[in-house]
Amino acid sequence: MTAGARPALAPGTTEAAHLPVGVRALLAVALLFFFLVGVKGLGDGFNLLGRDLLGAFFAATANPFVGLAVGVLATTLVQSSSVTTSMIVGLVASPESPLPVAHAVPMVMGANIGTTVTNTIVSLAHMGHRDEFHRAFSVATCHDFFNFISVAVLLPVELATGYLERGAGALAERIGGLGGSDFDSPIKVAIGAGLAPAKALAGRFTDTERGAGVVLIAISGALIVGALMMLVRTMKSLMQRRVEEAVHRFLGARALLAMAIGALVTVMVQSSSITTALLVPLAGAGMVSIQQAFPITVGANVGTTVTALLASLAMSGANAASGVHIALVHLLFNVSGTILVYATPWTRRLPIVAAEWLARQALHSRRWALLYVAILFYAVPALLAVAYNRL
């Protein structure tokens, strides 16, 4: 190695992994700050677009299956339900033109479905080995079927009773003060100051308010996606060894403990995709069964709701409480889905049986795996939206 040359990175490592732990911790705090600035800017940017344009979008999402499809599509594009739900929080808490909470509930459900595509993509890497692919694909898709079952039951219940909206609203009232408070906390003041340069930059690109809104949305969206992705990588570099040790140690644990580990790991790395995607290659290698992986996956679903709750804390103004409201909808949906599926041994087996059946079909023809993604993630929500419009 020549003098002054930097050492090569080990396979699978990142630049962040070579920084001192203290520096990585400060970097994580800075990235979280920029993420919250992006969420606040997104709401302000949509507010600048004007009521007529937002009204057209909100009218479309009045169809719950359109909202569901929007959540699925947005999440499959950015490969992160955390990004999607954080953006939904920004829309709901927009200062003057908020997305109605009732319209946002199906979008949150769609985000839960969309995030499972990551697992399926990871499992396709095992296609060349028959037994590996069967194990990996079944573990990946049991997450899908858990979310499909939750949505299939809870969406009709929500449309009939408003269970999630009302339940989360009651909870938000009980813990009032997290959002919507007139008190200017130092964090909110700092977020407002951090957003000021972005607003100034947006104003330089155009003389119109709507144009400035478009630019601010673009800047804020880039901040949300970039900061959250880098935060995930940084947290992974900080916690990877502990995460892997926790997953390996508790693979054979009781269901409730395994769920708690899945939730805790996801909170630590700020990404359910990392937690669940870690299980797929372990399953392919025969180190974990679908019965062991399933409760950890379910726990990861609950853990990922923390990101939206963090995003809701960045909101201020009259509609800030609505941001907390929709974040709690996300939490209540995942907790309710967990209770629903784990209520009886029979319902607990449903996602596992469905995933194993689909894996057997995919072994006969790999096209089944691709058709599965195309039909259940895109075609079904689109057909339901069309059917709902005709009713």
Q: pLDDT tens digits, residue range 313-328?
A: 766 666 777 888 898 9
Q: State the chain's mean pLDDT as an integer.
A: 76
Q: In the prediction, which pLDDT does 161 show?
A: 94
74 compared with 329, residue with greater pLDDT: 329
pTM: 0.72
Q: Return the pLDDT at 74.
A: 76
Residues 190-206, mean pLDDT to the nearest whole number: 79
SS3 content of the chain, % helix, strand, coil (to 5): 80, 0, 20
Quote the pLDDT of residue 156.
94
- Position 211 pLDDT exceeds 90: no
* Chain Cα centroid distance, residue 224: 12
Per-residue pLDDT band at 9 (split at 50, 70, 90): very low
Residue scoring higher pLDDT (370 or 135): 135
Under the banding of pLDDT at 50, 70 and 90, the label for residue 90 is confident
**Beta carbons of 274 and 237 less than 8 angstroms apart:** no
pLDDT number for residue 246: 57
Task: State residue 8's pLDDT score.
Answer: 43
Where do the structural domains in the chain lie, given as residue ranges? 20-390
Q: Please state, in angstroms and rounded to a whole number, the distance separating the CA atoms of residues 244 and 238.
A: 12
pLDDT of 180: 44
Dist CA 134 CA 355 (whole Å) = 10
Of 199, 192, 148, the residue nearest 33 (C-alpha) = 192
* Alpha-carbon gap, residue 83 to 136, rounded angstroms: 26
- Higher pLDDT pick, 78 / 75: 75
Across the range 17-29, mean pLDDT stands at 70
Predicted pLDDT of residue 166 = 93
104, with CB counted inside 10 A (0-12, 13-18, 19+), is buried
b/e sequence 282-315, b meaning 16+ C-beta within 10 Å: bbbeeebbbebbbbbbbbbbbbbbbbbbbbbbbb
Neighbours of 230 (CB within 10 A): 18
Average pLDDT over residues 284-310: 85
pLDDT bin (cut points 50, 70, 90) of residue 154 is: very high
52: confidence class by pLDDT, cuts 50, 70, 90:
low
Q: CA nearest 377: which of 124, 92, 119, 138?
A: 119
Judged against a pLDDT cut of 90, whether residue 150 lies above it is answered with: yes
Res. 121: pLDDT tops 80: no
Contacts of 280 (CB under 8 A, 6+ apart): 119, 122, 123, 136, 139, 140
